[in-house]
Amino acid sequence: MYIIESYSIAVLFCIITMLCWGSWANTQKLAGSSWRFELFYWDYVIGIFLLALIFGYTLGSTGEAGRNFTEDLFQADRKSYSLAFIGGVIFNLANILIVAAIAYAGMSVAFPVGIGLALVLGVIVNYFATQKGDPFLLFTGVILVVIAIVMDAMAYKKLAQKDRKNPKIGLILALIGGFLMSFFYFFVAQSMSLDFSNPEGGKFTPYGAVFVFSIGILMSNFVFNTILMKKPIEGEKLYAADYFKGRPMVHLVGILGGIIWCVGMSFSIIAAEKAGPAISYGLGQGATMVAAFWGVFIWREFKNAPKGTNLLLSGMFLLFILGLGMIVYAGVS
């Protein structure tokens, strides 16, 4: 299977993760406002599953190092399967809430608040599980990201007040989703051996772990998303037949969104051996800044914001960049 050989390549993979995780939600926007996010989400989950399977039989079955994908799946024990599967279930519930927050509050709010909180808690959880990297630099970077999240929440409050919206709904959805999101990576990382060249028996390599994780997402979606369709946060009740009313291009856009996200997840997990789970996860969750960029500059979600909002947004981007830079250097020290 394909294995990263150096920390610098691991950082590059984490940057690709950051771009993927911060950009996939654009596909929800591209699907159109008339296509409800509950329907979009079915295609998104299918995209994650398909990419995990494709990577397993390509990158996961290439080269002589480690174990190939099929062998990896057959040798893993029940505990590893359970951990990776539970990680998928937790991620799915968290992500549905964050996607709902995107639909209500926009990318520039839901991502920095929800995924930003996931970054902070996730780095802490993963660092104490596998202590790799300079803790001072790592947690100083995390503190800067926390301040950036607060500044983004303040900017959204200004915008929501002008639009006469209740700012609490979007923020609450993002915060609950972010809290849950902070734990999924820990479960997946615990299902793997962090020596990819000579993996521990009973544990997964990255490709097997991501595939079982994707099964957890797919299976749990029949529960979580079905409930959400019957009792939506916003809008009328949806039925299974509504999904089949979508145009082929709309479905393909949703699948593309899942593929983009899963490329990021796979690259992050592959990078975890050299970078450590805390840094790999934390840098990947710099997606918050990427998503905020899309929301502010491309989708123009703050174009009608009141005076003083731009200063808060500028400060948010600056602190995100500084915080992420410190997280990277924590692995070099």
Tell me if residue 62 falls in helix, strand or coil. coil
Q: Specify if 36 maps to a domain.
A: yes
Q: Specify if 186 maps to a domain.
A: yes
Distance in angstroms between the alpha carbons of the first and the last residue of the chain: 29
Please give the DSSP secondary-structure letter assigned to residue 222: H
C-alpha torsion 137→143→146→152, nearest 10: -80
Domain count, the chain: 1
Q: Give the per-residue pLDDT at 267.
A: 97
Q: What is the pLDDT along the chain (333 residues), one digit of tens a residue?
A: 999 999 999 999 999 999 999 898 899 889 987 899 899 999 999 999 999 999 999 999 998 888 999 999 999 999 999 999 999 999 999 988 887 787 677 666 676 778 778 878 888 888 888 888 889 999 999 899 888 878 877 787 677 666 545 557 778 888 899 899 999 999 999 999 989 999 999 999 999 999 999 999 999 999 999 999 998 877 899 999 999 999 999 999 999 999 999 999 999 999 999 998 888 988 887 787 887 788 888 888 788 778 888 898 899 899 988 988 898 888 875
Task: Judge whether 244 and 167 are in contact, CB under 8 Å.
Answer: no
Distance CA 258, CA 268 (A): 15
Q: Give the per-residue pLDDT at 161.
A: 62
Task: Judge whether 87 and 185 are in contact, CB under 8 Å.
Answer: yes
Q: Specify if 282 maps to a domain.
A: yes
Q: Give the per-residue pLDDT at 98.
A: 83
Per-residue pLDDT tens digits for 84-95: 999 999 999 998
Place of tokens 């959880």: 125
The stretches of the chain forming alpha helices (DSSP H) are 7-23, 26-31, 37-57, 69-75, 78-105, 107-110, 116-129, 135-162, 167-190, 206-230, 240-243, 248-275, 277-284, 287-293, 309-332
Q: Specify if 91 maps to a domain.
A: yes
Owning domain of residue 82: 17-132+170-286
Place of tokens 């299977």: 1
Q: Specify if 252 maps to a domain.
A: yes
> Considering the entire predicted model, what is its pTM?
0.88
Tell me if residue 333 falls in helix, strand or coil. coil
Q: Specify if 317 maps to a domain.
A: no
Q: Specify if 203 maps to a domain.
A: yes
Q: Sort residue 54 into left (φ over 0), alpha (ψ -120 to 50) or beta.
A: alpha
